[in-house]
């Protein structure tokens, strides 16, 4: 457990078409309500999305692509371009910036984190998180990733945030994803594809994180 003299250190993995900076901005309310308990470290996936340059927000990034140049969370393909590079990138982050108590991840980042949780079961010396916070998580449909979804449930403590009206990752996919974890904590909200931060969600996050401080 974390020492009571310090805050929990949480690594943050953004969603597709985001980066560390934009994810930090979009988690402002969450960071504010948890500032007494945790510090957050944001990183950017190593793969820039081709043609994604935006004058206001800059380039957008992803953890892997489901075809030659983009990612579709609904595509069942045999392609996962960049996935292995992203795993190696996270290995370097953990070595150079860790250790981390836990990980917060959103959308494609949460799908990626789910597979890292499976890796942790065989490589605890590398992936040694105490807990994970998964928002709009889902099971990857890429053929090469199905090996991470064995019948055995992942035992790492997990908190799942699910938006009942999420049109990007429908709630049934996030429900199925949560069932892959042993005794998952679940926070539901009536909204869509974002991190909700009302008083109800605040209480849920704090109650979960108190187990690790």
13, part of any domain: no
57, part of any domain: yes
CATH number at residue 80: 3.40.50.1820
What is the structure's pLDDT at 2? 47
19, part of any domain: no
Cα 73 to chain centroid, rounded: 14
31, part of any domain: no
42, part of any domain: yes
What is the structure's pLDDT at 30? 92
12, part of any domain: no
Q: Which of 86, 166, 174, 189 is catalytic?
A: 166
Q: Annotated catalytic, 122?
A: no
Summarize pLDDT for 158-173 with one digit per residue, the tens. 999 999 999 999 999 9
Q: Annotated catalytic, 107?
A: yes
Choose among 82, 91, 88, 92: nearest CA to 61.
Answer: 82
Q: Annotated catalytic, 160?
A: no
Q: Domain tally for the chain? A: 1
Beta bridge partners of 105: 13, 134
Most distant pair of Cα atoms in the chain: their distance: 47
127, part of any domain: yes
Q: Is 26 exposed, middle or buried (0-12, 13-18, 19+ CB in 10 A)?
A: middle
Choose among 118, 106, 111, 119: nearest CA to 73.
Answer: 111
What ranges make up the beta strands (E) of the chain?
8-13, 38-43, 47-48, 61-62, 102-106, 131-135, 158-163, 185-189
What is the structure's pLDDT at 56? 55
176, part of any domain: yes
Through-space distance between the first and last CA atoms of the chain, rounded to whole angstroms: 6
User: Which residues in the chain show pLDDT less than 70?
Assistant: 1-5, 53-57
Name the 3-class secondary structure at 147: helix
Q: pTM of the prediction?
A: 0.94
Summarize pLDDT for 30-72 with one digit per residue, the tens. 999 999 999 999 999 999 998 776 645 678 999 999 998 899 9
Residues 71 and 16 sit within 8 Å (Cβ to Cβ): yes
Q: Which of 107, 111, 140, 158 is catalytic?
A: 107
> Domain of 199?
36-212
């Amino acid at each position: 457990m974390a020492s009571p003299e310090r805050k929990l250190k949480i690594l943050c993995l953004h969603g597709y078409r985001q980066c560390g900076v934009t994810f930090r901005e979009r988690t402002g309310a969450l960071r504010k309500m948890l500032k007494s308990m945790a510090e957050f470290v944001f990183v950017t996936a190593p793969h820039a999305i081709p043609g994604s340059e935006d004058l206001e927000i800059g380039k957008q990034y992803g953890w892997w692509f489901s075809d030659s140049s983009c990612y579709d969370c609904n595509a069942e393909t045999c392609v996962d371009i960049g996935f292995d590079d992203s795993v190696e990138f996270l290995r370097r982050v953990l070595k150079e910036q860790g250790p981390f108590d836990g990980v917060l991840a959103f959308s494609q980042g949460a799908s990626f984190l789910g597979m890292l949780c499976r890796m942790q079961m065989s490589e605890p010396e590398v992936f040694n998180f105490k807990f994970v916070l998964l928002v709009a998580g889902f099971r990857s449909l890429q053929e090469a990733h199905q090996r991470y979804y064995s019948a055995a449930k992942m035992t790492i403590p997990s908190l799942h945030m699910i938006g009942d009206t999420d049109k990007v990752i429908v709630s049934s996919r996030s429900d199925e994803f949560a069932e892959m974890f042993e005794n998952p904590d679940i926070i539901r909200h009536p909204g869509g594809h974002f991190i909700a931060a009302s008083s109800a969600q605040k209480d849920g996050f704090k109650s979960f994180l108190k187990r690790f401080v």
